Every structure is written in C-alpha cells, then in structure tokens.
Structure 1
Amino acid sequence: MTSSGVESLRPQGRLTDHIGLGVVSARFNRDLLEEVLNRSGRREKRVRRLPAHVMIRYVIAMGLFCAESSDEVMRRLVGNLRRLGSWDDDWQVPTASAITQARQRLGAEPVKMLFDRACVPLAGPGTKGAWLARRRLMAIDATTLDVADTPANVERFDRMGSGPKASAYPKLHIAALAECGSHAIVGAVLGSCRTGERTLIKDLAGRVGPGMLVLADAGLYSFDLFNSFAATGADLAWRVGASVSIGHLRWLADGSYQALIFKAGLSAQRRARLVEQARTGQEIPADLARLVRVVEYTVPDRNPDGELIVVVTTLTDHHEVPAMELAGAYQQRWEEESTLNEIKTDLRGRGEVLRSKVPDLAEQQMWGLLLAHYAIRALLLEAADPAGYDPDRMSFVKGLRVVRRQVTDQAAITP
C-alpha cells in the first residue's frame, strides 16, 4: 500500500475522538452519547484531551476490565489504532490522575442517564423462556457490592454490621429489574447498604408496566409494595412467607384459590370480617385488603418433606394462566440471581472491589458495569434467537471473552 493509502486510513482529528468499543459502541452509539451529554449538561465548554463521550465509553470499558488499572483500560480502548499510524501526533496514554479528573468532570449522571435511555427489554416474540400468556417475564431483586474503603464511601454507603462484626468494606446496595428471558437488567436503583431492599425496590416501579409479569421472592413482599407495583398495570406473581396472612375465599378448578391479602397490622378479627364481606360479594376497602389468586406447590428436592412455595398473583383468571403454568414461570425468577452473579463474579471478578474512592465515581463505575453487562447480553440474545436457542444456554463468560478480545484486537474506529 502506498504512503498516501496509509494516510487515507488514518483517523482525522484527536485520537480519542475515534476510540470505540466495537459491539459495545454499536449498542451505545455516538448520537446516543451526545444526547445524554446534552441532557445532563456535561458537554465540554472547551476542547479536552479526554472529551466526555470518550469517558462514557471508558467507564463502560472499566466494566469489561474491572481487574485492570485505569491506564491499562485506556490502552485496551485504543486497541490497534497504532497500526493505522494514528500515534504520529505523539499522543500518550493519559496518566491515572488525568483519567480520574476526566471521570470527575463527567460524573455519574450521564452514565445513569445512558442506562435509563438505552437499557430496555430485549426479548422478541420468539425468545424462549421470556413470556407467559403474552406477558414479558421480569424479576426484581437486590444485592450489594464492595466499594473502596474510604471515609467518603463509608459515609455514603456504610458497612454491614457494626463494631468488630462490621464488613471489611463499605457496600453499595443495588436493586435491579431484570428481563428473565434475556438476563438483561433494564432498571436499577443504587443506595446505601443500610437502605432496606423494599425501599430501594419501590423506585423500580416506574420501570414496569402493562404487558409484564413481575416476579419477586418472599423477602421483598409487603402489602404496600405489592400494591405499588400492581398500580403500574403490570401483573405480579410474588412469593410470600409463612408469616403473611392470607384469607382463603374459594377454591378454583386448577387447584389454586382466590384469597385476600391484608394491610399489615390488622387484627385477626378485622381480617375475618373482611373475608366474610368478600365471600358475600361486598366491596372490600382497597387500603385494607386486595383480592388475589394463590398458587401453592412443593419442591421435593429442597428438603425431605418438600418445601412449600406460596405465590400470590394478580392473574386471577385460572383459565388464562393455569396454576401449573404459573408455578413453572415463577421458577424463572431465579434467572435474576444468575444475572446478578454474572455482574458480581464474571464481570467484576470474584472478591474484587469497586476501586473508585469517592461515592460519585463508585456509582459511575456501577452504571458502567450494568451497561457492559447489558451489551453482552444483547449480543448473546442476537445470537440465540435466530438459532431458536434459549438465551439461558448461551454462556455469559464466553460472550464476555469474545467482547474483551474484540475490544483489544480489532480496530476501534467509530463509524
């Protein structure tokens, strides 16, 4: 190739303007990055060596390479632009200090906004394990991740336990809404580990709506939270524990039964009166009780006597969704635990700590992890659907390796 041919291949402008993440950049394109920067007011007022759109991609790359140093992540981002002669302007990988300053200028808000804007449900009509009775299966859950042990992080996120039993690191608490079929997280709320799961999860109600069936484990149930999610128009199937009072009304042909769930704190006598009113067709005060359908089944291999699973649901028509189908669908709730494990173990790395030393950057790094996970899960779904595979059979670890190789080995010029 002639020297003029080489020149024609060289990116024009600053090297960092051409940094991309391959398949990840395709999911979060430049126009989308510019949109969130405009809306968040984080566009630069002057030309910088590390512009804001580059730093958003850098934060996502941190999610892909959690174990690497900050300057090594930047080297991986640059990829093989060196082969194209792009380094003739003596551009050097910025120092760790310069990268931190650029991250501070960016802040967490644009990265969160990108997540809210881009991370939507992925499953199509033919995606296996994604639907029940034309409703998209979703699940909610919460977990914690260790962050750097600094006074600022302790103040914002706190530690689990107290005194000599306190956790070694402060813990960022995340509540997440996941699409069961694709394992894509499409809603998240961050907070302190001292903030209760139900408090965080209540803020996820705005991410659900009609056409969804939201699944939740027993530890998340409360009458008020159940009603908050039901008010969105989504259907619910939530497990309840033995301590939750259920007022039996009548058996249904599929073995499930209609029942009332009650506001916390009602006396046994008050609950009994409400049940009697419902059986005689009287109207029930919505602030005191709610009509639901209950599906009960046992899981024999959980213990010798079988573990009783009790699920309350807003799907009251047993003809539309029989008890056996609902029980089978509820097992998809465990997909969210697998999803959170993909982030904590496969992406972040087992035992790794989010090393950002100030809360705003720790949250920024968490949003970057979520964006990186979403992009990989989207890639796996695009591979699974045409072949008719269940996305659950697609290895997240293998997908992660492919993306990491792509970032490192291929030319990273943004189209």
Structure 2
Amino acid sequence: MRTRGGRPTRCQSGPSVTQWATPELVDEVLAECRKRDRRPGALPAGFMVYFTLGLALFHQNSYDDVAEHLVGGVPELSGCIPHKASFTRARERLGPEVVERLFHRLAGPLALTGLTGSFCWGMCIAAVDGFLLDVPDNQANRQTFGGPKDEGPCASRTAVLKVFLMPLNLFHPE
C-alpha cells in the first residue's frame, strides 16, 4: 500500500474508499476546514479522515482492527498501531465538520437522467438506509434522545436511530 501525505492511496484488499474520497479531495476538504497537521508526531489529519470512514464502514470492528488495516500504508507510523487515546485526541482535533463536508461533496444522484430503470410507474426509485449511533449514556442525552425501554442487556445504552430516504435519481427523464 502506498501513501500520499499520510493517507492510504490503496486499500490492502477489495475496492478502495479512495476511489471516491480521493486524497486530493480529502486535501481540499481539510484546507476548507482549516485542518492542518500542526503537531509533529500526531496522527495526520488525512489519515484520520480515512480512519473515521473505516470506523463507519467496519463498525463491527474495534479501533485496533480498523487501524491495523491502515497503518501499514503510513510510513510515519512504521506499521505500529498508536494507542487508543491518540486516536481519540486526533478525532477531537479533526472534528465533525471535515467528514460532513466530505459527505456533501460526494453526495448526489446515483442514477443518470434518462437511465432506464431509474423510474418505475412514473415514480422515482429510492433507497432507504439507516444506522444506530451510540451516544454517551447521560441525563442530557436521555432527555434529548430517550433511553432504553427495558432492563435487558442493552439497558445502559443510549442510541440514536438515523433513517434516510434517498432518491436514486433526482432528475425526471425527458
């Protein structure tokens, strides 16, 4: 795996997230958000963008598992997995704005105008997607998002359900 500025340019196996979130696009978004690598020895901001995407894509894996797939391509890390606290501090420095802007730069219609199959019986074909976000279990979050309804094994978890309806073609064919 080769790197560019601390960011992987190719995944070790399978299709790469860098096919869509290119290192150039990540650099642009980091510049727009004024996120720079200021501290020597700190995890690079570009690496943290890909790490955050990896956590979302492989939510069932631990920090270490996701990091293990990425650090091999970053010479500055010498193949060593940093401590979890380093990832936490780096994610705090990165903040949510970078990933949000990256999403808005990449989001758009999936079907091309006039593409056969993007409409059915005059209606736009859409996709439904959703996910759960674990949030800290505290009084403020329970008031905002509610809490668990039972006393089962997940009773100490507070989670936010996000569901989206996304049209696959925003344009009506001529």
Q: TM-score, normalised by structure 1?
A: 0.34
Q: Which of 40, 43, 46 lines up with 1:53 in the alignment?
A: 46
Q: CA RMSD in A?
A: 4.0
| Alpha-carbon spacing, 1:78–1:163, altered in 2? closer, same or farther (3 Å) | closer
- Alignment partner, residue 100 of structure 2: 112
The whole-number CA distance in structure 1 between the counterparts of 2:137 and 2:55 is 20
- Alignment partner, residue 39 of structure 1: 32
Question: Aligned pair 1:137/2:124, yes or no?
Answer: yes
The whole-number CA distance in structure 2 between the counterparts of 1:105 and 1:152 is 26
The whole-number CA distance in structure 1 between the counterparts of 2:99 and 2:143 is 19
| Alpha-carbon spacing, 1:153–1:120, altered in 2? closer, same or farther (3 Å) | farther
Shift in Å at residue 11 of structure 1? 5.9
- Alignment partner, residue 23 of structure 1: 16
The whole-number CA distance in structure 2 between the counterparts of 1:43 and 1:12 is 17
Which SS does the other structure have where 1:107 is aligned? helix
| Alpha-carbon spacing, 1:173–1:12, altered in 2? closer, same or farther (3 Å) | closer
Contact kept? 1:147, 1:153, Cα under 8 Å? no
- Alignment partner, residue 278 of structure 1: none
Shift in Å at residue 37 of structure 1? 1.4
Which SS does the other structure have where 1:150 is aligned? coil
| Alpha-carbon spacing, 1:90–1:132, altered in 2? closer, same or farther (3 Å) | closer
| Alpha-carbon spacing, 1:78–1:128, altered in 2? closer, same or farther (3 Å) | farther
- Alignment partner, residue 65 of structure 2: 72
Which SS does the other structure have where 2:124 is aligned? strand
The whole-number CA distance in structure 1 between the counterparts of 2:118 and 2:110 is 10
The one of the two structures with greater contact order (alpha-carbon pairs below 8 A, sep at least 6) is 1
| Alpha-carbon spacing, 1:128–1:13, altered in 2? closer, same or farther (3 Å) | closer
Residues 60-99 of structure 1 deviation map (CA, whole Å, 9 limit, x = unaligned): 11123222211221111245x59xxx58x85521111111
Shift in Å at residue 25 of structure 1? 0.2
| Alpha-carbon spacing, 1:142–1:27, altered in 2? closer, same or farther (3 Å) | closer
- Alignment partner, residue 97 of structure 1: 85
Which structure 2 residues correspond to residues 80-95 of structure 1 after superposition, within 5 A? 81=73, 90-95=78-83
The whole-number CA distance in structure 1 between the counterparts of 2:86 and 2:35 is 17
In structure 1, list runs of 5 or more residues that go unmatched: 1-9, 182-207, 214-415
| Alpha-carbon spacing, 1:60–1:128, altered in 2? closer, same or farther (3 Å) | farther
Contact kept? 2:127, 2:167, Cα under 8 Å? no
Contact kept? 2:36, 2:45, Cα under 8 Å? yes
| Alpha-carbon spacing, 1:20–1:56, altered in 2? closer, same or farther (3 Å) | farther
- Alignment partner, residue 121 of structure 1: 109
In structure 2, list runs of 5 or more residues that go unmatched: none
Which structure has the highest helix share of the two?
1
Shift in Å at residue 20 of structure 1? 4.3
| Alpha-carbon spacing, 1:126–1:77, altered in 2? closer, same or farther (3 Å) | farther
Residues 324-360 of structure 1 deviation map (CA, whole Å, 9 limit, x = unaligned): xxxxxxxxxxxxxxxxxxxxxxxxxxxxxxxxxxxxx
| Alpha-carbon spacing, 1:158–1:25, altered in 2? closer, same or farther (3 Å) | same
The whole-number CA distance in structure 2 between the counterparts of 1:56 and 1:156 is 31
Which SS does the other structure have where 2:100 is aligned? helix
| Alpha-carbon spacing, 1:32–1:129, altered in 2? closer, same or farther (3 Å) | same
| Alpha-carbon spacing, 1:212–1:124, altered in 2? closer, same or farther (3 Å) | closer
- Alignment partner, residue 376 of structure 1: none
Residues 295-352 of structure 1 deviation map (CA, whole Å, 9 limit, x = unaligned): xxxxxxxxxxxxxxxxxxxxxxxxxxxxxxxxxxxxxxxxxxxxxxxxxxxxxxxxxx
The whole-number CA distance in structure 1 between the counterparts of 2:118 and 2:149 is 41
- Alignment partner, residue 164 of structure 2: 176
Q: Which has the larger radius of gyration?
A: 1
The whole-number CA distance in structure 1 between the counterparts of 2:54 and 2:139 is 24
Shift in Å at residue 59 of structure 1? 0.9
The whole-number CA distance in structure 1 between the counterparts of 2:60 and 2:101 is 25
